[in-house]
Amino acid sequence: MIRHDQRGTILVVVAGLCALLSAMSLAFVMRMRADGEDAHRMSQDIQARVMLTSALMYVQETGRLGWGGETFGWRDVRDGMPGPRDFFGQWPAMFASTISDDGLRRPAVTKAFFPVVRGTAARNPMYVMRRPPFAIRSTIAPNPVPIVDPGDNATAPWDQLINYAVADPSPVTSDPGAFASGDLAPLQVSGIASWFRVYRSGVTTFVITCGSGASQGFRDWQEVVDTPGAADIFGNQADFEAIRSAEVRRWYEAEWSDLVTGNNFMHGHYARHNQRTFGNPNLGAEETPNKRNLAGTFAYIASLPSEPLDW
């Protein structure tokens, strides 16, 4: 028979064990949450750093493409003038009214955009679109030769054995307007949002901001307000500031160079090729990947220790 004082002792022991289990469970849940937050932050940091490659390729490509015709580098390889200039050595019509001969903003212009030196940065949200503009089907062989086994009949006419029944490359949609405009709506399962900004700080130097978060690369609320339709994305300033505080941002500086060699395009390490010798014009005989370099290389790529004044 259990005495009353023994019953009290058992109750105290059971209550203590329950409290201990509750404390351990709470500590476990808190640790799991902290681990999850750390993993998410690490994923954001990785995503932001991946954006550096996209931004550097953007700098390389926009020195030659994207202005309504072919251009010849950020410092024109023909005469050394600030670029990008067209075939006739003139500024492309897309920004000719805002840029002076030295690449800076014209004095009469109150606001100029990239690629004007010290103009507003180019902002590039890198979410996955439902269908990008000018999307091409990823079919490897749209017109395969109709022979599978050696015993197949190969006596068919040449227009059947080697044909061009399906366009190659083939657009995703047959509507020319939809092909050009694409479907810019974000794909909801595209993972962590990321973006990069490119600010042209000099004729050949660029400040690159890489981010992972939902701000779409807007620097501050004023820039959101100044961009038509952007305020509707975030609702209000408080929501935007909360989004901005939760994302990861990294800053870099790079200097474009017109020095090229061989068949390479990438700016970093590729397979067994060392990035320190990659693109060096003195190593033309060295084996390089089979990608033609038509867009220049970089004299240096540096990580900035803190947020720069202009980006």
- In the predicted model, is pLDDT for residue 262 greater than 80? no
Residues 284-299 have pLDDT tens digits of 444 444 445 678 889 9
Residues 41, 173 share a domain = no
Q: Are 254 and 302 in contact (CB under 8 A)?
A: yes
- In the predicted model, is pLDDT for residue 280 greater than 80? no
Q: Are 303 and 279 in contact (CB under 8 A)?
A: no
Residues 69, 88 share a domain = yes
Indicate whether 144 belongs to any domain. Answer: no
Residues 112, 58 share a domain = yes
Residues 173, 90 share a domain = no
Residues 303, 166 share a domain = no
Residues 74, 203 share a domain = yes
Residues 103, 203 share a domain = yes
Q: Are 264 and 291 in contact (CB under 8 A)?
A: yes
Q: Which domain holds residue 230?
A: 33-127+190-258+296-311
Distance CA 171, CA 77 (A): 35
Residues 253, 199 share a domain = yes
Residues 121, 55 share a domain = yes
Residue 297, H or E segment:
strand 297-303
- pLDDT at position 278: 45
Residues 185, 104 share a domain = no
Strand partners, 129: 186
Number of domains in the chain: 2
Number of helices (H) and strands (E) in the chain: give both, helices first.
6, 7
Residues 185, 196 share a domain = no
Strand partners, 249: 211
Residues 43-90 have pLDDT tens digits of 888 888 889 989 999 999 999 988 988 999 999 988 899 999 999 999
Q: DSSP E strands: which ranges in 35-180? A: 122-125, 129-131
Indicate whether 236 belongs to any domain. Answer: yes
- Assign 238 a pLDDT band (cuts: 50, 70, 90): very high
Residues 231, 309 share a domain = yes
129-131 and 183-186 beta bridge pairing? antiparallel
Indicate whether 214 belongs to any domain. Answer: yes
- Assign 265 a pLDDT band (cuts: 50, 70, 90): very low
